Each structure stands twice: as structure tokens, then as C-alpha cells.
Amino acid sequence: MEEKVLRKLFLGFIQIHILHHAKEHPIFGLWMLEELREHGYNISSGTLYPILHSMESDGLLSKEEKNVEGKIRKYYRATEKGNRVLIEARKKAYELFKEIKD
């Protein structure tokens, strides 16, 4: 039960993390999985890819497909909408952090 609740809470953190990196440079799934793991998020590709697709459908990310060593790799970038959402999410996260830090 506790694990399920935490996964729901962390989903928002994961999306903010994705937007942060997708604003800085194009990202792809495997790189993002490794980045998230470095920050303690233990998610599978079966969890990450639907998140990326959902964020793309919501207009937060744009996708570009590139041929890398004979395979198609999907790169994601934050859209203008994604950048605006990230700015607002940062403000809310900062306010929350100030309130709960002690």
C-alpha cells in the first residue's frame, strides 16, 4: 500500500525531472532511466516510456526520431508549454520545500 502511494507522489517529481533535462538538451529514454536511477527513482522502461508519451500527448514534450547505429532513437525536448509548466512547477516545489523542510 505504502509503495503505491509513494509511486503516485513520485510521478510528479519524475515529470518535473524530465522537463528539467528536456529543457537543457534533447533526452532519450535509456539516458533518462539512468539519470532517474542516480536520483533514487527505481522505475522500469515500461513505466518511463508511457510517461514520455503522455507528456508528448499533453504538449509538454516534442519528439524527434534519429537513426543511431541503425536503430531509431526518439529524442525529446521540452516545448514552450513544457517550459512554462516547469517554471510553475519549480515555484510550487520551492514553496512546498520551504514549508516542509523542518
Number of domains in the chain: 1
- pLDDT for 7: 82
pTM above 0.85, yes or no: yes
- pLDDT for 44: 93
- The identity of residue 10, as a single letter, is F
- pLDDT for 60: 98
List the domain range (segments joined by +) for residue 19: 2-100
Provide the Cα torsion 56, 61, 64, 66; round to 10°.
-100
How far is 93 from 85, CA to CA, in rounded Å?
Answer: 12
- pLDDT for 3: 80
DSSP conformation letters of 23-82: HHS-B-HHHHHHHHHHTT----HHHHHHHHHHHHHTTSEEEEEEEETTEEEEEEEE-HHH
Residue ranges of the chain whose pLDDT lies below 50: none
For residue 23, the domain's CATH number is 1.10.10.10
